[in-house]
Amino acid sequence: MMHIYVHIPFCDSICYYCDFKRRLYEKAVLKLWFKQIEKEVNALDLRSISTLYFGGGTPSCLPLDLFSQLASLFTPYLCKDYEWTVECNPNNINEALINTYLQAGVNRISLGVQSFDDTFLQAIGRKHSSQDVFNSIQRFREAGLNNLSVDLIYGLPNQTLADVKNEIRTFLSLNVPHLSIYALQIEPGSIFGKKGLKPCEEGLDANMYECIRQMMTEHGYEHYEISSYARDGMYSRHNRCYWDDSDFIGIGWGASGKEGSRRYDHVDTLSNYLQDERRVYVEDCDAPFESIMMSLRTCFGLDCQKWERKYHQDFKKVYDKQLQTYVPEYLYWKDHHLICTEKGLEILNTILVDFLPDD
Ligand code: SF4
């Protein structure tokens, strides 16, 4: 079974908080970019794709004929019960786009909402309104596409705890089965970073996190990953492959991939990618630690038997000191899985520092 991530690095505009690998949409480079993507795909032995994820950037800003061309590189290889997610911005959604996606076989949409409040949307440089969000959700549903996920950000400039509660109330009123919600990070390469914007106070940040968790779980959503909530088991199957140490293929400039204990990226800039689409392997990847780091984010935890088989180490022996410190208050055992308690999730970064290799 294969998991594939395709990075579409183009955006209609640049959000103030964004430091992802993305570029303003430029018609002139699209053809060349697609050629490189085709080269990457042709070099693969594609078969039985279990999860396919088009992320970005903004995949929904691709012209629809190009989207169909891109889709057709993968559709013959989708397995029977595949999950195919496309990230969309609410201002791109129209009937033609929905029809094209459905025809191609897309069955999950991740909607970049970030806030339901127009004042905050403007403050972070988003080009859509809350009404665009409501309209697009309705449109997808009318077309029969119900496997929807919303992305939100909390800790926005001047946002209060009451504002965050309102965001969650609005989310809950929409009856969407999946939420990904992240604290605003001030990245040095973002517009906010360059303007020297200060991050939200740590205490407020933590209160917001806790308030979100309470409201979401009270309404029947499972907090299945530190930033993700799902109802009725509608997890992101694709994201689970990142968290459970599975291999995945990354295609396109800005995409990473994993083959066993090896990670790879692509060249640093889009213009370099247009000349060289080959993978760049990461030399100093610490796969055993990364596996711990990713899996402790989830409510499924780290499968220690699998980890020991893969990395040929005795987990309890190697991490005896750490286990004594954190079990049972912050970490607990369920069969052979090591899992974070809710309290552990709140201090996950501190726990992980202790799991870092010594050198
Ligand atoms: S946040 Fe998303 S839409 Fe905004 S600039 Fe970054 S990649 Fe593009």
**Nearest residue to 53 via CA among 13, 91, 10, 110:** 110
Q: pLDDT tier at 53 (50, 70, 90 boundaries)?
A: very high
Q: Can you give the residue range of the structural domain that contains 306?
A: 297-359
Pair (35, 157) in one structural domain = yes
The SS3 of residue 219 is: coil
Residues with CB under 6 A from ligand 1: 11, 14-15, 18, 20, 22, 56-58, 89, 112
Strand order in the sheet with 257-259: 257-259, 262-265, 280-281
Q: Is the pLDDT of residue 358 over 80?
A: no
Ligand 1 pocket test, candidate residues 8, 17, 20, most atoms within 8 A of CB? 20
pLDDT, position 359:
66
Report CA(77)–ligand 1 centroid distance (Å): 29
Q: Does residue 254 fall inside a structural domain?
A: no
pLDDT digits (tens, 9 = 90+) for 201-222: 889 999 999 999 999 999 999 9
What is the CATH number for 17? 3.20.20.70
Whether residue 309 has pLDDT greater than 70: yes
CA 166 to ligand 1 center in whole angstroms: 23
Residue 156, C-beta contacts closer than 8 angstroms, at least 6 positions apart = 115, 120, 123, 124, 163, 184, 200
Q: Based on the fold, state whether residues 182 and 78 are members of the same structural domain.
A: yes
Model confidence band, residue 318 (pLDDT cutoffs 50, 70, 90) = very high
Task: Based on the fold, state whether residues 22 and 101 are members of the same structural domain.
Answer: yes
Give the model's pLDDT for residue 26.
Answer: 86
pLDDT in tens, 75-133: 999 999 999 999 999 999 999 999 999 999 999 999 999 999 999 999 999 999 999 99
pTM of the predicted model as reported, rounded to 2 decimal places: 0.96
How many Cβ atoms are within 10 Å of 14's Cβ, its own excluded? 15
Question: Of ligand 1's atoms, which has the minimum distance to the CA of residue 22?
Answer: 7
